[in-house]
Amino acid sequence: TRRAARPVRGAGAATVAVGPSRAGSGAPRRHAWDLKGKVSDMEDKIRNYQTRVKSVNQENEVLKGSMAHNQTKVVELEEQLKNGRCFFSRRFSDYETEVKALSNVRSELDKVSNEKSCLEKELCSLESKYRVVETLRDSQETELQTLKLSVQESTLARLQATLRDTEEQVRSLTDTVAQQSEELHAGEMERRRLHNTIQELKGNIRVFCRVRPLQGGGLSKHIQLAASNNKMITLAKTEESHTGKTAETHKSYNFSFDRVFGPGASQQEVFDEISLLVQSALDGYNVCCFAYGQTGSGKTFTMEGGEFDDSRGCIPRAVQQVFRAAEKLGAQGWEFTFTASFVEIYNETLRDLLYTGKGSKRPEHEIRKSASNEVTITNLSYRKVSTEDEVLGLIALANHNRATAQTAQNDRSSRSHSVFQLDIEGVNAGREVKCKSTLCLVDLAGSERMVKSQSQGERFKEMTAINGSLSNLGIVISALANKESHIPYRNSKLTYLLQGCLGGNSKTLMFVNVAPEPDSFGETLNSLRFASKVNDCVIGTASVNRK
């Protein structure tokens, strides 16, 4: 018997009927005994079925791969759909926000449009007002131009008349100025003559005494100053009896000078007394001012002073007066040139205090006297100066270079004589007049005895040189006072350098500085005796250096 084959299904494929071919299919029907033929037919059918099964399996694999690909695409499409929904949701929210913002902008736009309409109406109103004002301005400008023209014509006529009157006044004033200029010049010449006459009447070598205050203030008992007489000073001392049989004895020493300044005298008060002497330097006279006294008596303070204006000494104040007076004389046609130098005498050796080079290359200096009897120093620094500050800067440099040392009398005692010199040359081209002079300001080293200063070694050598030069200064002063034929200027560098100030054509002033301490009584007495001898010295009348 023949069985019908079961249908075979592929995934996604149509059902295929499998079974033997029936009669009428075109294949010959075999006999029942032809088993071999039937087997052969069955084998053909089996091979046919196997081929078809293989083809169906291949189709099934293809369909499985297609199905997996489609499932992957479905997942991707679902993910894209999900993302698309989120994106469109966000975009929708953004659009809603923008719509709300645009709604607000629209309301603002409506508001601005309303304001614009109002402003346009106001602008139209203002433009109409402006046209009215412009028309009014044009009419007023026309009236103003007409008015100005009439006023200018009248003003011009009045100014022309005033100009003629002013020109007459200018001519008259020019003549007056010329006449007054002549009178002023004559008055200046007369002032100089009278000023120098006064100086001559006061004495060629004037001596001022200045008493330094005590450390705690006040005045020592052994120094007596008369309240009604500013030219007297008295030293009083009580001496005990050496035997004890006699009572104590009182000794007084009276001295008289051109002026005595007590401990309370200010720097300005001291300088006021010598300011006329400084003025003589601009008038063409040589002027010299020097300070003498024991160590610690206030010489350097008197000459140089302190840092503040109230405490400035004679040197900075003299420099200030010279430059200010020269500026005033410039209005009368005078032109001045100034040359400054600063030298010290240390152990009878000259040192340039304005030298700025190396110490090992410092040149040697010698005092020379020219054919015209002018004293000069070789290899010395001469600095052209044009302002007060330049001179004060040079003075500061000199103070830095000056030799100082400690002694028993003063912890920073000046161990040398310092000489500041300002050469002045003046020219009045309009008057064809020239003048030349020298302002010399000297701070002497401290004068004291060897025992009192307790100097040893190098300090002892310095003290010997200082006392020797000061002793020679006293000898020169005595020779001048006695009008001796030979004056020993060359005995020391100090007297040789000051020769022109002491015995030449110069107006000279000496400060004798006094220490008020009781243990300085002997030194004070020696200083006052020396100053009194100087005050009695007459060196002749100074003459003006004018051409």
CA distances from 231 to 183, 209, 255, 262, 469 (A): 38, 9, 8, 10, 28
504 is in an annotated binding site: no
235-246 residue pLDDT tens: 998 776 555 555
65 is in an annotated binding site: no
- Separation CA 476–CA 478 (nearest Å): 5
Domain ranges of the chain: 205-450+457-536
Question: Looking at domain 205-450+457-536, does it have CATH number 3.40.850.10?
Answer: yes
Residue in the structure block whose two tokens are 């004495």: 203
Confidence at residue 12, expressed as pLDDT on a 0 to 100 scale:
44
Q: Left, alpha or beta for 333 (phi > 0: left; psi -120 to 50: alpha)?
A: left
306 is in an annotated binding site: no
- Separation CA 367–CA 380 (nearest Å): 10
pLDDT band at 204 (very low <50, low <70, confident <90, very high): low
141-192 residue pLDDT tens: 888 888 888 888 888 888 998 998 999 899 889 888 888 877 776 776 676 5
Reduced to 3 states, what is the DSSP secondary structure of residue 408? coil
Q: What is the mean pLDDT of the chain?
A: 82
Q: Is 439 or 401 the better-scoring residue by pLDDT?
A: 439
Q: Write down the number of H helices and E strands in the chain.
A: 10, 16
377-432 residue pLDDT tens: 999 999 999 999 999 899 888 888 875 543 444 443 467 888 999 999 999 888 88
Confidence at residue 300, expressed as pLDDT on a 0 to 100 scale:
87
With a pLDDT cut of 90, the percent of the chain lying above it is 27
298 is in an annotated binding site: yes
Confidence at residue 222, expressed as pLDDT on a 0 to 100 scale:
87
421 is in an annotated binding site: no
CB 409 within 8 A of CB 517: no
- Separation CA 467–CA 407 (nearest Å): 15
CB proximity list for 12: less than 8 A, separation 6 or greater:
60, 63, 67
pLDDT band at 94 (very low <50, low <70, confident <90, very high): confident
If we measure between CA atoms, which residue out of 514, 484, 487, 491 comes closest to residue 502? 487
Confidence at residue 500, expressed as pLDDT on a 0 to 100 scale:
77
- Largest Cα–Cα separation, the chain: 203
What is the rounded average pLDDT of the residues 348-375? 87
- Separation CA 262–CA 265 (nearest Å): 6
Structure tokens that stand for 52 in this block:
């078809």
If we measure between CA atoms, which residue out of 531, 512, 526, 516 comes closest to residue 212? 516
327-340 residue pLDDT tens: 998 988 899 999 99
293 is in an annotated binding site: yes
499 is in an annotated binding site: no
